[in-house]
Amino acid sequence: MGKLKVRPEIDVERGVVYGVLQQIRWAEATGATRAPPMVGVWYIAIDPRMSGVVTSMVKLVEEPEELGHLKRFSKGDDGKLRAVVGSHSVWPSASEALAFIQAQAPSLTVAEVYSVDVPRVAPYTKEIALEWSAKYWPMSWKGNPNHQFLNSVVRDIDEERRRLDAVCALSSGAGGVAATIMVDPKMGAEVASAVTDETKGPTGHSVMRAIAAVADGELARRQQQSCQGGQEGASEAAPAREGLGYLCHNLIVYTTHEPCVMCSMALVHSRVGRVTFIEPTPSGGLASNYQLGDRPGLNWRFEIWHWVGEHPPVTPADSEQDY
């Protein structure tokens, strides 16, 4: 493939867009180490002429792991092809994997499956791709996928500043405690805001209170709709947002302080779309520890951004306090 033509406002090496938004990623996916996190996969040895059968069969596999960086086939010294069919997350035992293969592709006449540990994340340079291919399993190198993602990021920076100014003002008006605003990107409207209530412990953190405010707002909307249901000529209730299976689904979150681990997991479970914070915190769960919004293996992932541009003053993080 040709060399990626990077837009001038994107720094793919540093992970900074528009000079003000620093991308936060899972530490083990950033290339900080050449020892990748591993995952076990099952493979079989087949006649090369049967590769099409394998390709059709694996389309039936519900694979929870992201294995697109692995080549499906690897040539063996005995003239056979080794073919990855799925991870240990699909079939915990070899017997289960074999039973699936024999049921779905009996023409393969496979009598045994084999296990190998492979990198769980994609290589971040061509050099590392070659190294891992020789050491673990052939890698598919199509350029750094995160560079491609960063180059696709488009933000209205004036709008970002306006939202961050608003959350800083909310914090300032409450004595400098952490503050959070949630925005529906489709409606372009703020749907909830909250500041930390320091008398209520972790459940009083601004993120938890903002999530609760979204739920309270939806409850009020449904109650209004129910009350008006039998009233002729009643005015319409406020419109429902789309995708309300999860009330915070794909919402954009702006917060003055990096959320604690509990709040970070609450954001994962709420299935927000993006979080931007200003002040890193020692006990934070998004950047300082765990990178919970970007970890593989969780049931939801979202974008995490640290605002590194100018902003109104916020209270410095206290190492003895969670946010």
58: enclosing H helix or E strand: helix 51-58
User: For residue 31, what pLDDT is reported?
Assistant: 53
- Residue 66, pLDDT above cutoff 50: yes
Instruction: State the chain's mean pLDDT as an integer.
Output: 91
> Long-range contacts for 152-156 (Cβ within 8 Å, ≥24 apart)?
153/10, 153/17, 155/17, 155/18, 155/21
Considering the four listed CATH numbers 1.10.3720.10, 3.40.140.10, 3.90.1150.10, 3.50.30.60, the one that applies to the domain covering 156-227+244-307 is 3.40.140.10
Q: Distance (Å, rounded) from C-alpha 47 to C-alpha 105? A: 14
Cβ proximity of 273 and 297 under 8 Å: no
Task: Determine the topology of domain 38-120 in CATH.
Answer: Alpha-Beta Plaits (3.30.70)
Q: Say yes or no to pLDDT of 1 above 60.
A: no
CA atoms of 150 and 13, how far apart (whole Å)? 10
4 has pLDDT over 90 = no
Q: Is residue 171 over pLDDT 70?
A: yes
Q: Please work out, in degrees rounded to the nearest 5, the angle formed at the alpha carbon of residue 145 by the alpha carbons of 143 and 146.
A: 125
pLDDT the model gives residue 72:
97
Least confident of 70-79, 102-111, 188-197, 228-237: 228-237
Query: Is the predicted pLDDT of residue 162 greater than 90, yes or no?
Result: yes
Q: What is the Cα–Cα distance from 276 to 283, expressed in whole angstroms?
A: 17
Residue 62 has pLDDT above 50, yes or no: yes
**Which residues on adjacent β-strands are paired with residue 86?**
42
- The two tokens of residue 282 are 């020692």
At 199 the pLDDT is 94
| Mean pLDDT value of segment 128-143 | 92
pLDDT on residue 234: 46
Helix (H, G, I), strand (E, B) or coil at 292: helix
Has this prediction a pTM greater than 0.85? no
b/e sequence 69-84, b meaning 16+ C-beta within 10 Å: bbebbbeeeeeebbbb
> Which pLDDT score is estimated for 35?
78
Res 231 pLDDT > 60: no
Q: What percent of the chain has pLDDT over 90?
A: 75
Mean pLDDT of the region 38-62: 96
Q: CATH 3.30.70 in the chain: give the residue spans.
A: 38-120
The whole-number average pLDDT for the span 212-226 is 87
Tell me what pLDDT residue 237 has. 46
Can you give the pLDDT at residue 235? 45
What tens digit of pLDDT does each residue of 7-23 get? Answer: 999 999 899 999 999 99
Query: Model confidence at 54, in pLDDT bands (50, 70, 90)?
Result: very high
Confirm if 317 and 30 have CB atoms less than 8 A apart: no
| Location of each CATH 3.40.140.10 domain in the chain | 156-227+244-307
Round to whole Å and give the CA distance between 301 and 322.
Answer: 22
